[in-house]
Structures are given as structure tokens and as C-alpha cells.
Amino acid sequence: MSTTETAVTERDESLTSVNPATGETLATYRIDDEDAVRAAVAKARTAAATWGTLTYDERKKYLLRWTSKLVEKSDALCELIHAENGKPRDDAFLELMLALEHISWAAKNAEKVLKAKKVSPGALMANFSAHLEQRPLGVIGVIGPWNYPVYTPNGSIAYALAAGNTVVFKPSEFSTGIGNFFAAAFAEANPELPDGVFTTVNGYGATGAALVRAGVDKIAFTGSTATGKKIMAAAAETLTPVLLECGGKDAVIVAADADIKAAADAVAWGATANSGQTCAGVERVYVDRSIADEFVAEVKRILTEIKPGSDDKASYGPMTMPAQIDIVRRHIEDALKNGGKAVLGGPESVQGPYIAPVVIVDADESSDAVCEETFGPTVTIKTVNGVDEAIKLTNNNKYGLGSAVYSKKQGLEIARRLSVGCTSVNSVLGFAAIAALPFGGVGDSGIGRIHGAPGMLEFTRPHSIAVQRFTIPGMALLSYSRTDRTMKLLRKLVPFLHGRHK
């Protein structure tokens, strides 16, 4: 049971959404139990019969109307994101802007990615035409986290919808209001669509677990690796396919030829923006010895000015999930016990819901702050002797989500040697803002991809259709009427086709 799942007892009937900065109650939601989840999936299944048979152009129209509705309501949505998640209003707007880019890309590119293709039948099956067609899966269960409560689940929702599926979304218990706002905007933009194209179910982990068991055609999960493993185990019982977008421990490599100021600026922002609660945020840095002192001094200089808070001047907000605060404190203490030196902040930086930036240099590579996901506004920096050592240490981690490389001349070359799903060269997180690029990781960071064409294909199944256009006398390979003459011919043909490569 996850921490969130244990929070549910049979007596729990409602979920209270709380402002993480003030503790103020924002709203109360009824928890959807097993029956309610099954009813939502049944409604989505009925709606899929309509939505799944629309043309790509029709679905594009509905999805783009949704983007316009979200733009129209952006002030209210950003205010809600600020209140329920804690992030600054500007960051909320940037998150919404990226989600809009993805909805728009999915709507406009679904046909190109998914349209039926004719493929070559090959010489031995030349009397056939071969058709590769992508079909929607049906109903997708999306289970989301709270850190980017719009952008992150949208990576599954928009692409699943564009591919012709309906969606039942279980937002995080820490961002229930935002998730419901997002789905309501779709319904409001498209009143003529049947109820159930995109709806939510609300609750803690138990509601998510009920969605996994509810007969959906795929589960698209974003959240922690521990929960991802439970979901995969539960989904195995019904062979329900899963897409898992889990945690990360992203490294930045700063090579000897890096633009030091640009690298420091990116690391400072990538490590602390959104209070460090970013799956592909900067958690570790490997910097070349020749520039290490200058780089560390510059990161420290920038972060000394950066303050968390909830006012309009704050650079980032409170920790959204109270339980994470103890993990961040423990990682800082562990790093300091294991050879690390705090050049900015320390355990005292953890003050209530806010954590001020913490920079630790040369912590042992086995400490939790280097191995485990910290998910706070902290960063470890290690001095290395060249690119090979940096690559080795970057790859020596169970996670493999994102990464970044700062180098004027060898950025792409270094990027290609990293065991991760995504890399930004001379930027951090650039890959997450380019809709055509798939996003996801390897190892404990998950299975499958959101975004781009691979992210669209995740929500379809290939349907292969072979059409026999005419028969070739004596070449009935798939029949008992096959003759000895055919076999003699094949024995001559096969060495010609496949046996000439010496």
C-alpha cells in the first residue's frame, strides 16, 4: 500500500483539498468507490462508440475548441493551480501553455501519425495487399500526480483522445480541483458530445486502484516508481497494458568547454523551480574539475537571491505534499553525513511548507541525495575528471528519465552516450516543451512514452489486414492444395532471395 492508499479507510467518503501554503480548505470532493469507478468506465465505453468513430478532422475540431475554452478560463485555472498546488501564477500559466501546445499538436497530427498505411507484402506474398491500420484502444484510465497537475496527465489525456479513445482520469488527491476543472472545460467547450468522452473519478490511491481493476483498455500512470510497480502488478491480473511515467534522478553534465554562466543559470532554475518537484528536474550535476570552482560559485550566487513563498515575488512555492518535506530533510542530512559539504543552505533551509535552495558539493555517490529521487529544491554537485567519468556516474543510477549536457563542441556526442529517455543539450528540460518529441524514461523511470508520434501510438493497437487480390496458380502456400511443383519452385526461390549474402 502506498502512503496515499493507506490514507483511505472505509469510513472515508470525502476528500478535502487544501492550500499547501496556508492550510486553508479549498473544496471537498466525494470519493468515488469501486462501483462509481465502474460506472464512469461504463459511461466512457458508451461514449467511445461515438468519439472513436468520428473523423480525425471532427476530433481535431473538438480538441481545439477545448484549447480555446482553456485559454478563455486561463485566469481562473491558473488561480486554482496556484491555490491547490502552490506554484506561482506565472509558472501555472507556463504549465497551461505547454499543455495547450500538446493538445494542439495531438489534434493536428493524429491523422498523419495514425492514418492507414499500405506496406509491401514481400515477394512471396506478392498477390496480397498489406494494410497497417491503427485503432483506438477504447477507454483509457489515466492516473495523475500533483506536481504538474495539468501538463503531466495531459500528456496521456490529449493524445489518447486524439487517437479516438475516451478517458477516465483520476487526478492526484493533492490536485483534485485542478483535474476536475480541466475535464469540465472539455465538456463545456463541447456540449453536443455525449457525456463520458473525458471525465474524472476522485479519491486517493484506492480509487486509482479501482480504476486499474475496472476493465479499462490501458492504464496511463504518472507518479512514483513505487506506485507504478503496484499498478503494473495489479494490471497483470487482467493483462491490462500499462504506460508508466515514474520518478527520475536527472543529471546535468557540465563539460570543460561549457558556457559556465549559462550552465549555472540552467542548473539553478532546473533544480529549484516548482520547489524541485519536477520528475525531470535537475537533481545531480557532474562538472569538469577545470571549471568546477567557477561553476559552483555562480550557482551559489544565483540561488542566494532565490526565495520560496506565496507572494508575487516568490520564485517558487511551498512543498505541495507535506510528506515530501521529511524526505528532502533526510536527504540533505544524509548527504552531509556522507562527505557532502553544503555551500548554500542545509537542514535549516527546511522551514514549514517552504524549503529554501540547498546546494551540496561532493556528497558520496552512494548517499540517498545522489541515488534516490529527492523532489525538493536541492542539488548535489560533484567534480569529475573529464567527460568519461561524468557519463559513467550519470548512467550509474536506477532511474533514467531526463538529463542535460552543457558543452560548446561535444553536446550531441555526450548526449548519445547517456542511458536515459531524453536529453537537452545546452538547456534543461527543452525536450519536455517540444510536442513532437516523445517523453519517458528507462529503468525505474518507467515504461512507454507520452508525447509525439510514439506517445500517440501508445493509445492505439495496430490492426494488420492482408488482402489476397488474386491467386497464383500452383502457389497456394496457405492451403493443402499446395503441390510438389510449388515446393520445388520455392526451394529454388528461397536461396535466390535469402542465400546470396556471403
3-state secondary structure of 321: coil
Q: Give the residue, chosen from 246, 267, 314, 363, that forms a contact with ligand NAD under the rule CB under 6 A.
A: 246
245 classed as catalytic? yes
Can residue 87 be called a binding residue for ligand NAD (CB under 6 A)? Answer: no
173 classed as catalytic? no
User: Under the phi-then-psi rule, with left for phi > 0, alpha for psi from -120 to 50, and beta for the rest, what region is 209?
Assistant: alpha
Can residue 245 be called a binding residue for ligand NAD (CB under 6 A)? Answer: yes
Q: How far is the CB of 389 from ligand NAD (least distance, A)?
A: 26
C-beta closer to ligand NAD: residue 144 or 377 = 144
* CA torsion angle 42 48 49 53 (round to 10): 180
Q: How far is the CB of 278 from ligand NAD (least distance, A)?
A: 7
Q: Sketch the per residue contact string, 164 through 203, with ligand NAD: x for CB under 6 A, - otherwise.
A: ------x-xx------------------------------
Using the Cα atoms of residue 257, residue 261, residue 265 and residue 271 in order, give the sign of their dihedral.
positive
C-beta closer to ligand NAD: residue 353 or 446 = 446
Select from 326, 320, 334, 225 the least CA-distant residue to 277. Answer: 320
Q: Choose the binding region for ligand NAD from 90-98, 206-214, 300-308, 464-472 (rule: CB under 6 A).
A: 206-214
Select from 242, 94, 77, 93 the least CA-distant residue to 175. Answer: 77
Q: How far apart are CA 349 and CA 384, in angstroms?
A: 27
Q: Enumerate residues 346-405 that contact ligand NAD by CB under 6 A.
A: 373, 375, 401
CB atoms within 10 A of CB 217: 21
Q: How far is the CB of 178 from ligand NAD (least distance, A)?
A: 12
C-beta closer to ligand NAD: residue 101 or 373 = 373
Q: Enumerate residues 255-284 that contact ligand NAD by CB under 6 A.
A: 279
Catalytic member of 246, 279, 371, 422: 279
Catalytic member of 84, 95, 245, 373: 245
CB atoms within 10 A of CB 327: 17
The count of chain residues that interact with ligand NAD, using the rule CB under 6 A, is 34
Chain residue whose CB lies nearest ligand NAD: 208
User: 267 is written with which cell numbers?
Assistant: 542548473
Q: Give the residue, chosen from 247, 345, 438, 443, that forms a contact with ligand NAD under the rule CB under 6 A.
A: 247
C-beta closer to ligand NAD: residue 140 or 279 = 279
Q: Enumerate residues 420-449 that contact ligand NAD by CB under 6 A.
A: 446
Q: How far is the CB of 78 from ligand NAD (least distance, A)?
A: 19
Q: Sketch the per residue contact string, 128 through 157, with ligand NAD: x for CB under 6 A, - otherwise.
A: ---------------xxxxxx---x-----
Give 31's DSSP letter.
P
Q: How far is the CB of 223 from ligand NAD (least distance, A)?
A: 3
The string of DSSP codes covering 109-170 is HHHHHHS-EEE---GGGTTEEEEEEEEE-SEEEEE--SSSTTHHHHHHHHHHHHTT-EEEEE
3-state secondary structure of 215: coil
Q: Enumerate residues 215-244 that contact ligand NAD by CB under 6 A.
A: 222-224, 227, 230-231
Q: Sketch the per residue contact string, 308 through 337, with ligand NAD: x for CB under 6 A, - otherwise.
A: -------------x----------------
Q: How far apart are CA 181 and CA 366, in angstroms?
A: 42
Taking CA atoms, 136 is separated from 44, 130, 140, 249, 494, in Å, by 13, 20, 10, 33, 38
Can residue 52 be called a binding residue for ligand NAD (CB under 6 A)? Answer: no
Q: Enumerate residues 463-492 that contact ligand NAD by CB under 6 A.
A: none
C-beta closer to ligand NAD: residue 104 or 147 = 147
Q: Sketch the per residue contact string, 102 through 131, with ligand NAD: x for CB under 6 A, - otherwise.
A: ------------------------------
Select from 398, 308, 407 the least CA-distant residue to 355. Answer: 308
Q: What distance, in Å, lies between the first and last C-alpha atoms of the chain?
A: 58
Are the C-beta atoms of residues 474 and 134 closer than 8 Å to each other?
no
Q: Give the residue, chosen from 248, 340, 377, 448, that forms a contact with ligand NAD under the rule CB under 6 A.
A: 248
Gyration radius of the chain's alpha carbons: 26
Taking CA atoms, 357 is separated from 88, 347, 405, 476, 495, in Å, by 16, 11, 22, 72, 68
CB atoms within 10 A of CB 69: 17
Q: How far is the CB of 138 from ligand NAD (least distance, A)?
A: 19
Q: Supply the residues annotated as catalytic.
A: 245, 279
Residues found near ligand NAD in the complex (CB under 6 A): 2, 4-5, 143-148, 152, 170, 172-173, 204-205, 208-209, 212, 222-224, 227, 230-231, 245-248, 279, 321, 373, 375, 401, 446
